[in-house]
Amino acid sequence: MKLRVLLPLLVFGLIAVIAVLIPVAQSISDSRTQQVGLQRQASLDQVVQRARTALVQGGTSSLQTYIDRFHAVYGEAVLVLDESGNTVASAGGLSPDPDVRAIAGAASRALPQVSLPQITPWAPDTALVAVPVIAAGDLSTGVVVLQVDLARAKEDVAAAWTLVALVGLLLLAVLMGASLAWTRWILRPVRALDAAVAALTAHRRPVPLRPTGPPELRRLSRAFTTMTDEVENTLEQQRGFVADASHQLRTPLAAIRLRIDGLPRDPDAADDLAAVDHDLDRLEHTVERMLTLANAEHRASASRNGYDAGRDAGAERTCRASASALADLHRWRMDEAGVVLDADDETPVEVPCGRADLEEMVQVLLDNAANYAGRGARVQLALRDEAAGVMLRVDDSGTQLADTDLESMGTRFWRAPTHRSRPGTGLGLAIVAELMRAAGGSLRFERSSLGGLGARLDWRRS
Q: Rounded to two decimals, what is the model's pTM?
A: 0.49
Which residues of the chain are under the pLDDT cut of 50?
Answer: 309-312
Which pLDDT score is estimated for 160?
A: 93
Domain topology for 215-309:
Helix Hairpins (1.10.287)
Instruction: Determine the Cα–Cα distance for residues 390 and 339; give it in Å rounded to an integer.
Output: 26
Which pLDDT score is estimated for 312?
A: 46
Instruction: Determine the Cα–Cα distance for residues 172 and 461; give it in Å rounded to an integer.
Output: 47
Amino acid code (one letter) for 449: S
Phi, psi of 117 (to 5 degrees): -70, 155
Instruction: Determine the Cα–Cα distance for residues 12 and 6; give it in Å rounded to an integer.
Output: 10
Which pLDDT score is estimated for 310?
A: 47
Write out pLDDT tens, residues 183-201.
888 777 777 777 777 776 6
Nearest CA to 445 out of 376, 395, 380 is that of 395
Architecture of domain 316-460: 2-Layer Sandwich (3.30)
User: In this structure, how many other beta carbons lie within 10 angstroms of the beta carbon of residue 267?
Assistant: 6
Q: Is 147 helix (H, G, I), strand (E, B) or coil?
A: strand
Instruction: Determine the Cα–Cα distance for residues 414 and 271; give it in Å rounded to an integer.
Output: 29
Domain with CATH 3.30.450.20 in the chain: 2-157
* End-to-end CA gap in the chain: 28
Nearest CA to 150 out of 141, 142, 160, 158 is that of 158
Which pLDDT score is estimated for 77?
A: 92
Instruction: Determine the Cα–Cα distance for residues 43 and 12; give it in Å rounded to an integer.
Output: 47
Which pLDDT score is estimated for 309?
A: 47
Instruction: Determine the Cα–Cα distance for residues 365 and 319; give it in Å rounded to an integer.
Output: 19
E strand or H helix at 378: strand 378-385
Domain topology for 2-157:
Beta-Lactamase (3.30.450)
Domain with CATH 3.30.565.10 in the chain: 316-460
